[in-house]
Chain A
Amino acid sequence: MASIYTAALMQHHAHPDYKYDMEDATHAREGVNPSCGDRLTLSLRIEDGTVEEAAFSGSGCAVSQASADIMADLITGESVDEARRLCRLFIAMVRGESLSDDDFEDLDEAAQLESIARMPARVKCAELAWRTLETLLDETDDAS
């Protein structure tokens, strides 16, 4: 089994750039991983339909923490609609659906988590931040 514990993933886990409490968040939501009870709070500052800032807090396994950090990096500066699209792409990828080369390119560093699809027990860990983002954006249609 190829290790998902790559140097890049370990780097995001050990030194996350986006793990902090955001002072002036416009949107926040807590997500729970039902398989282990880990909780993560995702905070966004959305202005004029653009995700100007994204951050997360909480504790969890290396997979969930690195995935959250990679996600925050990816969606910062994107429109809400694009963030929603990337989110759907990521969830499809870790659930084993096939993506086009363009899709993989759009997911950038997040595409490295593709092999999680072969570890069904850990998909929920990788998805946690993304499912939280999806719910948050669905709940706040006025965000855009």
Chain B
Amino acid sequence: MHRLPLSAAQAGDISTNPYKADFPLLAARDDLAFLDSAATAQRPRCVIDAQARFYETLNANALRGLYDLSVQATTAIGEARAKLARLIGARDRDEVVICRNTSEALNIVAGSFALDILREGDEVCVTAMEHHSNLIPWQQACRATGAKLTYLFPDENDVITAEEMDAKIGPSTRIVAAAHVSNVLGVENPIADMARRVHEHGGYLVVDGAQSVPHMDIDVAALECDFFAFSAHKAFGPFGIGVLWGRRSLLESSSPFLTGGEMIESVTFEDAAWAGIPEKFEAGTQDAAGIHAAGVAVDYLESVGMQAVQAREAALMRACIETLDALDFVSIVGPSDPDARHGVVSFNVDGIHPHDVASILDMQGVAIRAGYHCAEPLLTWLGTGACCRASLAFYNDESDIAALGRGLETVWRTFNG
């Protein structure tokens, strides 16, 4: 399923939906306004079919088999790896380690590279808006090494300022770990500015790209980061496929994270020598069908075109924030400027718990997320507590936003007569 990219003007017309038919679940569910793509996206038919086609035509264990089918499976993984590399602007496909999800990718960095370099008294600096995936691995790494965990806090405009970075990133900072886009506030963090600062002090930058990859062109070279992690399932690919990109020299010098089959060069009764990258970080049999389908998801996203994606999501975000702003019992968490938000809008309804909001919206066919969004420290610090979150993708249209607005009015009436 390849399509020619629509112009930005065509894609930005949210009164029509040229994409919905590509997504079997959405096409079959006219009753559903799916506004939870930040949790997991829907998959286009081509991705779903690719997974089945792998099993029907290419299925064999990759890497080790000497027969043609195994070689084909190996080739399919290599091609998908090259596509995933292309998606984030990586020129060297061996720098792309394939694992299960963003959490695992970040655990690889925190559990191998970081343990190798951190010493007592070093600092690891994360933002206060990290998903638990990019927080708890660092808490653990600091606990194991005696390093100290420090935090970059956003200002009243939800921006991590130059002053804050200058104050927190210094000679002791060995690692800065930051979300490219916050899964609660929706803001894009100043990754390249962080990179410049931490590199000045000889440290490294780790980026959680889970919420940015589906919404913007990524170029790891321009971001100047050292590691970049994301999940296929938030970018229209299958569950269970995560990517860790890392600089070749850093991946090569790191200890492996998981050990076992496929990740060795040679083994004796006493010892083992590691395979080269990326295999060193890919112990055990991989989900080859999923990896193949993840590559097809990259093809699909490219055929939609990031320009069209961004034009459409900008229009959807404007409509969503206008709708929420028009309801005087709704307050937005984070910036209300649509241009400052990428994919997610968090909000609360006065006096009504987010779980009640989500349940009553669900009764009307509107799917949103409610709770702490795996960012409990941020929401505690903001004083917000749990909140509601609507998240968007290019397959949404104005009817989804309208359903959210109508649904919230029903929520209000249910509690306030």
Contact = CB atoms under 8 A, between A and B. Distances in A.
Interface of A: 1, 3-5, 10, 35-38, 59-63, 119, 121-122, 125
Given A3-B363, A5-B414, A10-B415, A37 B356 contact: no
A8 B282 CA distance: 56
15 contacts: A3-B360, A5-B356, A5-B360, A5-B415, A10-B415, A35-B355, A36-B370, A36-B386, A38-B353, A59-B385, A62-B356, A62-B415, A63-B356, A121-B359, A125-B355
The contact size tier of chain B is 10 to 19
Contact of A36 (B352, B355, B360, B362): B355
Contacts of A37: 371-372, 376, 385-386
B363 A61 contact: no
Interface in B344-363: 352-356, 359-360, 362-363
Nearest to A3: B363
A38 B359 contact: no
Contacts of B352: 62
B211 to A, nearest CB: 21
A1 B363 contact: yes
A60 B371 CA distance: 11
A94 to B, nearest CB: 15
Chain A to chain B: the 10 pairs with minimum beta-carbon distance, closest first: A61-B353, A61-B355, A36-B371, A61-B356, A62-B356, A1-B363, A36-B386, A5-B414, A37-B372, A36-B355
Interface in B315-373: 352-356, 359-360, 362-363, 370-372
Contacts of B370: 36
B379 to A, nearest CB: 9
B386 A38 contact: yes
Interface in B367-417: 370-372, 376, 385-386, 414-415
Nearest to B414: A5
Contacts of A122: 355, 359
**Most chain A beta-carbon contacts within 10 A, residue among B352, B355, B363:** B355
Contacts of B355: 35-36, 61, 63, 122, 125
A122 B363 CA distance: 13
B397 to A, nearest CB: 24
A104 B415 CA distance: 27
Contacts of A121: 359
Interface string B185-216: 00000000000000000000000000000000
Contacts of B371: 35-37
A1 B361 CA distance: 11
